[in-house]
Structure 1
Amino acid sequence: MKSSYLRASAALACAVVLTACGGDDGQLLLSGTISGVTKPGMILTNNGGSDFEVPVPANGTGLTRFIFPNRISSDDKYDVRVKSTPTNVQECKLFQNTGRAGFDVTTIEIVCTFKTQALGGTVSNLKNDLILVNGSDRVIVPAGATAFTMARVAQDAPYGVSILANPAGQSCTVANGVGTMGPADVNNVTVTCAP
């Protein structure tokens, strides 16, 4: 009878102080948001533990919420780090990624920026000013110019160089102006003006 009381007391003590008996309540979320993820390869860790690969958002925005699969306990320290990034990411900055859990952790923010590449090419027979566009980027190419440069474009982003305004008295055409930016600069866009 005495031993059953002892076992019951030990079980009660373990229930009251779960961590002292090797348990872990694991009831709290460890989560946040990531921007700038358009390809696989974003891997996070917490306290240097097991890897967690963040799924690529299906909607193509590059913005996604993440939730670590393993929950944490109240009063646990957390230290979320980026272990590896997709090939098109230049760098990631982390905000509110360390602390001690009191409630669900939902405010971690990871902001990633894309690698960018140059976009440009050549112009021939330009007698007057020409205006080129790529999305919202607008470039005036002066008369007599033989080359042009647009704003840098993020890797894996589409580009489309087109003519916004032909030079006075001329008509120009663009070749190789449309594509998806890869890991190398694009400098083969050609603009030919006539007469």
Structure 2
Amino acid sequence: MKFISMRTLLAMALALTLAACGGGKATFTVGGYVSGLVYNGLVLSTNGQTTTVAPAATIATDPNATATFSFPKQLEYGDEYDVTVATQPAHQTCTVSTWYQHDTAGRLASIDIPVSCTMNSFLIGGTISGLTADGLVLTNGSTGGTFTAASGATVFTMPTTVVYGTTYGVTVLTQPTGLFCSVANGAGTMGDASVTSIAVTCVPAS
């Protein structure tokens, strides 16, 4: 026998009671909460309608604050819904919980869908010139990641991504044998795309 939860039984009972009283089908609001939303621009969609979600008013002081949302049009008992992200907010990527985004109105007593947002992050790197020996090690002071370049390398990418809005600073941690390497354009604040403009130049050590 298929197991039916108490919440499902209650929702079915509610729908039957309203129908028996002449109230027609029970209706349900599709809503939920969004965690981690810092920037504006998030738009959610379901059943031909959309809703725009703003960050929680206290997000600046409380990183765990959640924003709430609800779609304007209610669904009738038995209607299916599938909540998706129609537009991502600036500088972030939000995802709807796969456990809750698609269901049938009335299967549960209420529709409360979790959405989580994370800050976008990108790689940083650039070019290397004049590297004719082994031993060059680059580091990013903001993340602690290092990159070891072999002799003859002409490009590099640091192994750790940098979150949007945070600073980075690539410097030489270890000089290669017999050479002196310097870094240009190594510091900055991460934007909305990977950085490829850092230039490492190596010359014979004096």
Task: Identify the TM-score tier after normalising by the shorter chain.
Answer: 0.5 to 0.7
Q: What is the aligned length? A: 178
1:73–1:58 CA distance, 2 compared to 1 (3 A): farther
Question: 1:179, CA displacement in angstroms?
Answer: 1.5
Greater shift in the superposed pair: 119-128 or 141-150: 119-128
Amino acid across the alignment from 1:122: I
Question: 1:43, CA displacement in angstroms?
Answer: 0.8
Where does residue 121 of structure 1 map in the other structure?
127
2:158 aligns to what SS in structure 1?
A: strand
Amino acid across the alignment from 1:143: S
1:126–1:177 CA distance, 2 compared to 1 (3 A): farther
Question: 1:42, CA displacement in angstroms?
Answer: 1.0
Where does residue 130 of structure 1 map in the other structure?
136
Where does residue 86 of structure 2 map in the other structure?
83
Match 1:190 to one of 179, 183, 199 = 199
Greater shift in the superposed pair: 82-91 or 42-51: 82-91
Amino acid across the alignment from 1:43: V
Question: For residues 56-94 of structure 1, what are the alpha-carbon distances to aligned partners after superposition, in whole Å with 9 as ceiling and x for unaligned?
Answer: 743696x76332246868957543221211354577454
Greater shift in the superposed pair: 87-96 or 70-79: 70-79
Where does residue 60 of structure 2 map in the other structure?
58
Match 1:176 to one of 185, 188, 191 = 185
Quick check: which has more Rg, 1 or 2? 1
- d(CA) in 2 for partners of 1:19, 1:117: 57
- d(CA) in 2 for partners of 1:161, 1:51: 42
- d(CA) in 2 for partners of 1:130, 1:88: 33
C-alpha contact 2:83 2:96 (8 A) present in aligned 1? no
Amino acid across the alignment from 1:130: L
C-alpha contact 2:128 2:154 (8 A) present in aligned 1? yes
TM-score where L is the length of structure 1: 0.63
Question: For residues 104-155 of structure 1, what are the alpha-carbon distances to aligned partners after superposition, in whole Å with 9 as ceiling and x for unaligned?
Answer: 4445344668474553222435533111123243211113433322247467
1:44–1:18 CA distance, 2 compared to 1 (3 A): farther
Greater shift in the superposed pair: 110-119 or 129-138: 110-119
C-alpha contact 1:90 1:115 (8 A) present in aligned 2? no
Structure 1: gaps spanning 5 or more residues:
1-13
Where does residue 6 of structure 1 map in the other structure?
none
Structure 2: gaps spanning 5 or more residues:
1-17
1:107–1:50 CA distance, 2 compared to 1 (3 A): closer
What is the RMSD computed on CA atoms of the aligned residues?
4.2
C-alpha contact 2:136 2:176 (8 A) present in aligned 1? yes
Greater shift in the superposed pair: 114-123 or 137-146: 114-123
C-alpha contact 1:92 1:113 (8 A) present in aligned 2? no
